[in-house]
């Protein structure tokens, strides 16, 4: 079934869904653009209008998850514990999709999304020490997620928050909700 009268965001969503379905059925490397477009119910030209490659679809998925989280957070300053708990709770809503991506060996793309958002909060005008600190935190957050994914996201958001709080310095500031 071909889709008509849809928005760009809807088309991207259909392509994400199509790719994730295919990733649950076969190896990522063997999935073709033609298969993704067919599964999504769109033309190949629609695929290429929105994405350059399969990895771009996964980036879009993780980027959308992060955008949704930040929208829900509302940009308000918050204490670290609820910030982390809300973050893990939000990602848990996408457990099925995230685990498909993880098992396909493509969760490294989440690191690029984290870098995009964290580095947007700390620019070159900040002291170099602060820039390195943010980069260090990005790696820690990513690896924290990776271990959670490797365990099937079985730990609760509360438990994940406790694990994160155990390693973060007490003065850690939740960068992504600052205005």
Other C-beta atoms closer than 10 Å to the C-beta of 41 total: 17
When pLDDT is averaged across residues 105-133 and rounded to a whole number, the result is: 86
User: Is residue 100 pLDDT above 80, yes or no?
Assistant: yes
In terms of pLDDT, which residue wins out, 132 or 5? 132
Tell me the pLDDT band of 4, cut-offs 50, 70 and 90: low
**What distances in angstroms separate CA 39 from CA 54, 59, 128, 162, 167, one per listed residue?**
14, 19, 47, 40, 43
Average confidence score pLDDT of the chain? 89
pLDDT the model gives residue 41: 94
51, 153 contact by CB (below 8 A)? no
Residues 6+ apart with CB under 8 A from 138: 111, 114, 115, 118, 119
CA atoms within 13 A on the CB side of 28: 14
Quote the CA–CA distance of 147 and 133 in Å, as a whole number: 21
Joined tokens for residue 7:
């928005």
84, 137 contact by CB (below 8 A)? no
- Convert the pLDDT of each residue in 52-75 to its tens digit: 999 999 999 999 999 999 888 876
In terms of pLDDT, which residue wins out, 122 or 133? 133
pLDDT the model gives residue 25: 96
Tell me the pLDDT band of 77, cut-offs 50, 70 and 90: low
Phi–psi pair at 38, nearest 5 degrees: -65, -45
User: Is residue 117 pLDDT above 70, yes or no?
Assistant: yes
Quote the CA–CA distance of 63 and 174 in Å, as a whole number: 18
Joined tokens for residue 150:
């490797």
pLDDT the model gives residue 1: 44
pLDDT the model gives residue 125: 79
Joined tokens for residue 118:
């964290």
């Amino acid at each position: 079934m071909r889709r008509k009268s849809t928005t760009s965001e809807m088309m991207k969503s259909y392509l994400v869904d199509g790719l994730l379905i295919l990733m649950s059925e076969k190896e990522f490397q063997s999935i073709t653009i033609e298969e993704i477009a067919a599964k999504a119910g769109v033309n190949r030209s629609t695929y290429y209008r929105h994405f350059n490659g399969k990895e771009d679809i996964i980036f879009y998925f993780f980027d959308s998850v992060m955008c949704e989280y930040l929208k829900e957070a509302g940009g308000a300053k918050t204490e670290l514990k609820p910030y982390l708990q809300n973050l893990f709770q939000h990602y848990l809503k996408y457990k099925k999709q995230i685990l498909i991506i993880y098992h396909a060996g493509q969760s490294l793309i989440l690191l690029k999304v984290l870098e995009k958002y964290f580095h947007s909060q700390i620019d070159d005008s900040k002291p170099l020490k602060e820039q390195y600190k943010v980069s260090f935190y990005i790696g820690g957050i990513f690896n924290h997620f990776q271990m959670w994914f490797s365990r099937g996201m079985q730990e609760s958001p509360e438990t994940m928050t406790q694990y994160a709080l155990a390693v973060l310095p007490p003065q850690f500031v939740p960068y992504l909700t600052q205005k």
